[in-house]
Amino acid sequence: MEIILAKNAGFCWGVKRAMDIVLKTAESASGRTFTYGPLIHNQEVVDALAQKGIQPRDDFGGIREGTVIIRTHGMPPKVKKDLQKKGLKLVDATCPHVSKTQKEVEKHYKKGYTVVIVGDLKHAEVISLSGHSDDRAFVVSSLEEAERLNVLPPVLIVAQSTFNKEIFHQIVEYYKKKFGSVNVFNSICRSATNRQKEVLELAKEVDAMIVVGGASSANTKRLVQISESTGVPTYYAETAKHLDVKKLKKFKKVGVTAGASTPDWVINEIIEKLKKL
């Protein structure tokens, strides 16, 4: 079997940077170290960090000391203030790409713009972006949702960094037609779109595709959708133990890609398992 690994498989630069910050903080911090929610959408990584004493936590109710690391998705300003008031130290590992979008949202919101975020309402990045508009932003994930909303100009449109580019453009065009002009901050991350473009090309070259990543990772799910859209048989696996190789025996050429929060060791285990075929 020939195995082709996508060039952009695995950690993006924002996640690599966050991992470095987390590991350095864990070494130097006195007291307990937490991440605000799971650092990334990958259980393998979250478990490995927990073994180093870095615990994910959403609720800091009874906690009055320690360090909280803000993950790549960022944190709403109100939550930041509440944690600081409790006496917790904050370390910011928000991806710089997401920080830029947060600043645009805040700047325009303060100037009186209606902020529209194109993304998934419950995604941590969208929650952090919305927090920069005092939670007054409108969140839409489809053109139909945008059409149903009664939004007043002036409007700023931003996107969740890993969101579908085509849907974002449809929504932008809809608002442009409706209001004549709108402010658009295209915050879809190039690292995510390059990975998606590469899957599209790789899927056309191989007999089957394997997409590796966390079960709750939005960008991994998107890679699966893109690969499936080409018609090539696509197999999703969170880790090597979830990959059923019996189904893959019949293929001669297999492509492998992975979401932005998938560590190299998980990808390598998958490759090793395939090599045995």
Nearest by Cα to 159 from 190, 129, 135, 182: 129
Q: Which residue, chain included where needed, has tokens 């959408």?
A: 41
Count of residues engaged in binding ligand SF4, rule: CB under 6 A? 14
Q: Which residue, chain included where needed, has tokens 């991440």?
A: 35
173 classed as catalytic: no
| Cis preceding-peptide flag for 233 (omega within 30 of 0) | no
Give 256's strand partners.
5, 210
From the list 8-16, 57-65, 164-172, 240-248, the region that binds ligand SF4 by CB under 6 A is 8-16
Q: Which is nearer to ligand SF4, 192 or 256 (CB)?
A: 192
Phi then psi for 103, rounded to 5 degrees?
-65, -40
Give the SS3 label for residue 257. Answer: strand
Least distance (Å) from ligand SF4 to the CB of residue 6?
A: 15
Q: Going residue by residue from 94 to 123, which x/- string records binding to ligand SF4, judged by CB under 6 A?
A: -x-xx-------------------------
Q: Is the dihedral of CA 111, 114, 120, 124 positive or negative?
A: positive
Helix runs in 206-257, H state only: 218-229
Q: Going residue by residue from 187 to 216, which x/- string records binding to ligand SF4, judged by CB under 6 A?
A: --x-xx------------------------
Q: Going residue by residue from 61 to 100, which x/- string records binding to ligand SF4, judged by CB under 6 A?
A: -----------x----------------------x-xx--
- Tell me which residues in 235-274 interact with ligand SF4 (CB under 6 A): 260
Q: Which is nearer to ligand SF4, 191 or 227 (CB)?
A: 191
Token pair of 189 as six digits: 């991350």
- Residue of 104, 125, 238, 269 with catalytic role: 125
CB atoms within 10 A of CB 189: 23
Q: Going residue by residue from 149 to 168, which x/- string records binding to ligand SF4, judged by CB under 6 A?
A: ------------xx------
- For residue 90, CA distances in Å to 22, 69, 109, 149 come to 12, 6, 25, 36
Q: What span, in angstroms and rounded, lies between the C-alpha atoms of 60 and 35?
A: 11
Nearest by Cα to 168 from 152, 200, 192: 192
Candidate list 6, 9, 12, 248; residue touching ligand SF4; CB under 6 A: 12
Rule CB under 6 A: is residue 13 a binding residue for ligand SF4?
Answer: yes
Residue nearest to ligand SF4 (CB): 14
Q: Which is nearer to ligand SF4, 137 or 254 (CB)?
A: 137
Active centre residues (catalytic): 125
What is the binding site for ligand SF4 (CB under 6 A)?
12-15, 72, 95, 97-98, 161-162, 189, 191-192, 260
